[in-house]
Each structure stands twice: as C-alpha cells, then as structure tokens.
Amino acid sequence: MRLVSRSGLIALVLAGNSLAACAKGNTTTYDYIVVGGGPSGIITAERISEANKKVLLIEKGPGPTVSTGSNHTLVWNDTLTPIDVPGLTTAIGGLDLWQEYTCKDHEATAACVLGGGTTINYMVFVHPPEHDFDKWPAGWKWVDIAPAAQRLYERNPGSNTPSADGERYDPGMYDIFSTFLNKLGWRLTDMSEQANDKHMVYSHPTWNIKNSKRAGPVRTYLPLAQQRDNFSLRLGTTVIRLVREGSRVTGVEVQGSNGTREIINLSKNGRVVLSAGALATPRVLFNSGIGPKEQVEVAAKTGVTLPPQKDWIELPVGKNFKDHPIFTLDIQTNGTWGPLASDIVLDGSDTKNIDLYETAGSGVLTQGRHRLIFFSSVVGSDGVTRYFQGSAAPSGTGLISLKVYLTHGLTSEGVLGLAEDGKTKILQSPYLQTEADVDAATTFIGNFVENLQSSELGFKIKNFTNVSAIINNPTSGVHFVGTAKIGTDDGRKGGSSVVDTNAKVYGVDNLFVSDASIHADLPSGNSQAIVMVVAEAAAAKILAYK
C-alpha cells in the first residue's frame, strides 16, 4: 500500500513521474473512494481492491493498533494497546483514548477511529439468524446473503472459547445465572452454531476475538488490502461533501487534521462508496444536496458548498432511524465472584494473568466482559413477534449487570437530522414510539422481574421501584441502522428507500452506501456481525453493477 503523506514531502520524493502536477495539487485519481474506515468501509474497500480497482479509503480518526500507528501501548508490552486485550474492554471507557476515539460531532455515541465501533465496543458478536433478513428486499434475503456471511466467518468467525487452552475462565456468574434460567425452562444453545435459536435460550458469549486479541476488520481484512499497490489508506482525514456535476459524483472534498481542505478526484468511471456509519453517512449526503430539503437547508447554514438547488435530490435520508432500547437490571446474588480488576492489569502488577496471556494466549484476559447472553421473544399486542437479547456481566461482588435489549420486530422509528453547528441531531427518538413496543417490553421485563424476585436463589434487584420506571428510562443500544434504507420503493417518488438493491443512491449515477445506514430492519442481537455480513454482500453488488 502507499501511505499517503500528510506533508506531501514523501509523495514528492516517491512520485517522480509528476512533479509539475504536485506543484498545483495531487492529481492522482481513484476508481473507488470509500468514505469511512469502520467495519463496513474496511471490508468494502478490501473486497473492491481485491478486484484490481484502485481504491482510496478515507478515515477521519487515527489507527488503534501498533501497526496502524497507535502509540498507546501497554506498560508491559509495546506491541499491544488496551484496545487489543479482550479483558481490558471494561477499562477503555475510563482511559484517555476513549476521548480520542469517540466522535464529538453527533448527538448520539459513535466511534471516530479506524475500525469504527468495532474498535471500542464490548465485542459481543451475534451471528444473525435467518429471520433478520425477512423484511429486506428481494436479493437480500437470507438465501442470498448466506454466502456473504460465509465469507465473513472464514476470516472473522468470532469465538466463544477464545483462550488457547480451551478453558472458560471465571465461570461463577455464568453458573449461577444459568442455574436460574434452567429452572425457568430455558435451554443452553451455541449462539453462533445455532444462530436461529432465539427463544428461551442462553449461551456462552461469542466475542469478536481471534488469536487472543480483539479481532474485526482492522486485523482480519485491512492487512490483505495493504499488500496491494492499488490500495491507499488516509487517516486523520474527514470527508466534508461530495463534489457533483449533476447526477455524477466527480470527487470528494476533504479536511485534514490541520484544517486544510482539498478535493480528491475520481477517475473517469470512478465511484464513491459511503461507509461513514448510520449517523455520519446522512451528514455527508445532506452536505452534498441529498436528503430532505429542510436538512439540506440546515447544511447550507453550516457553510458547506452545496450544488445548485436544481441538482438537490429529495430522498428520505435520516428517516427510518432505528436502534435497540436497553433496560438495565442490577441483580444481587450471593456469589463471591466480581469484575476483573483491570487497574492491576493496566499497571502490570497482575503478573499471573499477564504471563498466562503473553506466553500461552490463555486466561481471563482473552475473554470479554460478559459471561452469559440470552435470547427470547414475545408476541406483541399487534400480533408481531418481538425479540429480546440479554447481556449479563459481573459488575460488583456477586452483582450481575443485566442489559436487556428490545430487538428485531420492534416497530418504533425515529428521525436523524442536522443542527446548525454541523452536529447530527436526533429530531425524533427511535425508542418506544409505538404502544405495541411498550406493551411487549413491559410484558417481558415484568415477567423477568417476577421470576427474579420469586427465585429460590435469593436474587435481589437493586434500586427496584416498579416495572414502568424501568421501561420509561431506556438507554441507547448504540446499534443505529436505517438512515439510508435499502429498498425498491424509490424515495424520490414518496417511497422509503434511499438506495436501490445494488446499494446505489437513487438519482446518482456512481454513488453507493455500504454501512449500517442501509439496513432495512433491526437485527435480533448486537449489530456488528450483521453489519459486516451486509458489507460483504454490498461490496459484491457494487462490483457487479455495470
């Protein structure tokens, strides 16, 4: 790969072929410019470069691993950062790098670092069940998608036994909570091998871990692309807008970390793929005159250069905004286990766990934070089945922090827009907007609370007042989807879709979207695995589109 020089000096020495061109700006052009180096952008760029296209991947944040330029190494190992070590996922929210890696330009939480959400998340890796694609358009049902899932799992399968010695460490919380669920008639499943099993089941967590490190496309795809001459990665560079000539995109306007703006051009038949995520892709579209007129008008007030108004394209960008609401239950048991003491891992004094990790790729540090994941469902008052995921982790001595997500089947949706300071803004909340969603959540949480309270295991729910107090205070699942939805009902004609079934934006000849924005529905579990599966599928559709 070519590492794009920010100073231009290295480029000048290396290029040689075009010194005059350098003097008036870099004239290099690309077959594909991929905007955003999250999981979708890396997978899409890697697959497109594999097909011999000349690809530039542009990421606004820094690299999180030593090989991508991070110097946040651990005091006890200068090849590893806290991001790499699975056992440290509980700690990263309290480190300086959390501030560096989280975006400042959204009302909601998102990651602005190479790898996107997969760099800072809790690594729970839910292979999507077939039914997650039931409401997707033709060509995107599970039968069509299965090969894309296979391609992902070959490189990035996830693991529920990440310790190289095959042991599961720190089983105390799992033992007591699975005992409770067994008594209720729930069964043990393998959430990866039996992905369709989603009713009254629990599993050891599957995490996005490979070779005892946090996996994800930064480790499982990017190195493959970096071996190719035709692939370039530019970090610390934000795409502000698309440069358009009518219905064609000719390039992108970018801003470097020093604030300087420049235009990067596409080659003659070049294309742009937006992979900035469900919150940021809409902003690039608004800034390019694509979306609801009111939002494009707000973009104008932020000072961005818009195309002439006759070229604005009215599409429902930012609508169909969905997420999982989370309901939290803190369950006190009589267990003697607790959360991992990450402070003594960070400072190097936990030599027992560190040695086991470094020398044998084993031990509790190879595991994520959660100890048990469950799934179930209830039929809502509107006859629609709604799914629930529970993610349980130790959070104190004998204390289980249980996050229950209302997932696939929910009918609420919100609206994402822009504010005049350029930040994205939630115009309508995506949480619990329909009565049937509220009813389903109340039923499930209500039953679960009753079972916890009547359990002979002596469980107590901490700070419990009543079920409606829990339902009325959901937190964000941070699994945003749908803001540039895929479908056959063209949004320019009053339909709900922003991209067609080739993932191409309606009304633009050479603009595609490959990220969580295009998802036609919410998945049954945490979103990263299905996001990666869909990116594999989208890359193939984009390459096949002539």
Ligand X SMILES: *[C@@H]1O[C@H](CO)[C@@H](O)[C@H](O)[C@H]1NC(C)=O
Ligand Y SMILES: Cc1cc2nc3c(=O)[nH]c(=O)nc-3n(C[C@H](O)[C@H](O)[C@H](O)COP(=O)(O)OP(=O)(O)OC[C@H]3O[C@@H](n4cnc5c(N)ncnc54)[C@H](O)[C@@H]3O)c2cc1C
Q: Which residues contact 457 (CB under 8 A, 6 or more apart)?
A: 176, 179, 180, 333, 334
Does position 462 interact with ligand X (CB under 6 A)? The reply is yes
- By CB under 6 A, name the one of 232, 275, 362, 389 that touches ligand Y: 275
Stretch that binds ligand Y, among 339-347, 352-360, 490-498, 525-533 (CB under 6 A): 525-533
Q: Which of residues 209-238 bind ligand Y (CB under 6 A)?
A: 238
- By CB under 6 A, name the one of 463, 493, 494, 544 that touches ligand X: 463
Does position 227 interact with ligand X (CB under 6 A)? The reply is no
| Least distance (Å) between residue 100 CB and ligand X | 10
Q: Which residues of 295-319 are buried (b: 16+ CB within 10 A; e: fewer)?
A: bbebbbebebebbeeeebbbbbbbb
Q: Which residue lies nearer to ligand X by CB, 15 or 300? A: 15
- By CB under 6 A, name the one of 49, 68, 121, 377 that touches ligand Y: 121
Nearest by Cα to 297 from 417, 411, 400, 184: 417
Q: Are 306 and 296 spatial neighbours (Cβ–Cβ below 8 Å)?
A: yes
Does position 256 interact with ligand X (CB under 6 A)? The reply is yes
Count the alpha carbons within 13 Å of 171 in the hemisphere toward its beta carbon.
Answer: 10
- By CB under 6 A, name the one of 31, 323, 437, 515 that touches ligand X: 31
Does position 263 interact with ligand X (CB under 6 A)? The reply is yes
Site string for ligand Y, 49-68 (x = CB under 6 A): ---------xxxx-------
DSSP letter at 365 equals G
Q: Which residue lies nearer to ligand Y by CB, 215 or 354? A: 215
Measured between alpha carbons, how far is 131 from 143 in angstroms, rounded to an integer? 11
- By CB under 6 A, name the one of 82, 117, 128, 270 that touches ligand Y: 117
Q: Are 391 and 403 spatial neighbours (Cβ–Cβ below 8 Å)?
A: yes
**Where does 332-483 have alpha helices with state H?**
342-346, 351-360, 435-453, 467-471
Does position 239 interact with ligand Y (CB under 6 A)? The reply is yes
Q: Which amino acid is at 437?
A: D
Tell how strand 2-3 and strand 261-274 pair up: unpaired
Q: Are 86 and 367 spatial neighbours (Cβ–Cβ below 8 Å)?
A: yes
Nearest by Cα to 492 from 510, 505, 502: 505
Is 122 marked as a binding-site residue? yes
- By CB under 6 A, name the one of 47, 53, 244, 370 that touches ligand X: 53
Q: Which residues contact 487 (CB under 8 A, 6 or more apart)?
A: 137, 495, 496, 497, 499, 500, 501, 520
| Least distance (Å) between residue 82 CB and ligand X | 13
| Least distance (Å) between residue 142 CB and ligand Y | 18
Count the alpha carbons within 13 Å of 197 in the hemisphere toward its beta carbon.
Answer: 15
Q: Which of residues 325-344 bind ligand X (CB under 6 A)?
A: 334, 336
Structure tokens at 286: 């608004």
Q: Which residues of 258-280 are buried (b: 16+ CB within 10 A; e: fewer)?
A: eeeeeebbbeeebbbbbbbbbbb
- By CB under 6 A, name the one of 196, 226, 255, 265 that touches ligand X: 265
Q: Which residue lies nearer to ligand Y by CB, 153 or 464? A: 153
Is 113 marked as a binding-site residue? yes
Does position 457 interact with ligand X (CB under 6 A)? The reply is yes
Stretch that binds ligand X, among 76-84, 139-147, 494-502, 521-529 (CB under 6 A): 76-84
Q: Which residue lies nearer to ligand Y by CB, 438 or 484? A: 484
Q: Are 386 and 199 spatial neighbours (Cβ–Cβ below 8 Å)?
A: no
Q: Which of residues 82-111 bind ligand Y (CB under 6 A)?
A: 109-111
| Least distance (Å) between residue 457 CB and ligand X | 5
Q: Which residue lies nearer to ligand X by CB, 1 or 108? A: 1
- By CB under 6 A, name the one of 56, 112, 272, 299 that touches ligand Y: 112
Stretch that binds ligand Y, among 271-279, 344-352, 451-459, 497-505 (CB under 6 A): 271-279
Determine the distance from the C-alpha atom of residue 141 to the mean position of all C-alpha atoms in its chain, rounded to a whole number.
21
Stretch that binds ligand X, among 119-127, 155-163, 277-285, 461-469 (CB under 6 A): 461-469
Measured between alpha carbons, how far is 534 from 519 in angstroms, rounded to an integer? 8
Determine the residue with CB nearest ligand Y.
38
- By CB under 6 A, name the one of 1, 15, 146, 449 that touches ligand X: 15
Does position 274 interact with ligand Y (CB under 6 A)? The reply is no
Three-class secondary structure assignment of 302-322: CCCCCCCHHHCECCCCCCCEE
Stretch that binds ligand X, among 8-16, 35-43, 141-149, 343-351 (CB under 6 A): 8-16
Q: Using CB under 6 A, count the residues that bind ligand Y.
A: 41
Nearest by Cα to 217 from 277, 152, 129: 152
Is 13 marked as a binding-site residue? no
Determine the distance from the C-alpha atom of residue 486 to the mean position of all C-alpha atoms in its chain, rounded to a whole number.
17
Phi, psi of 374 (to 5 degrees): -125, 160
Measured between alpha carbons, how far is 436 from 384 in angstroms, rounded to an integer? 9
Is 173 marked as a binding-site residue? no
Q: Which residues bind ligand Y (CB under 6 A)?
A: 35-41, 58-61, 109-113, 116-118, 120-124, 238-239, 275-278, 280, 284, 478-479, 515-516, 526-529, 531
Annotated binding site: 113, 121-124, 239
Q: Which residues bind ligand X (CB under 6 A)?
A: 2, 4, 6, 8, 11, 14-15, 18, 21-22, 25-28, 31, 52-54, 56, 71, 77, 79-80, 229-230, 232, 250-251, 256, 258, 260, 263, 265, 334, 336, 358, 457-458, 462-463, 465-466, 468-469
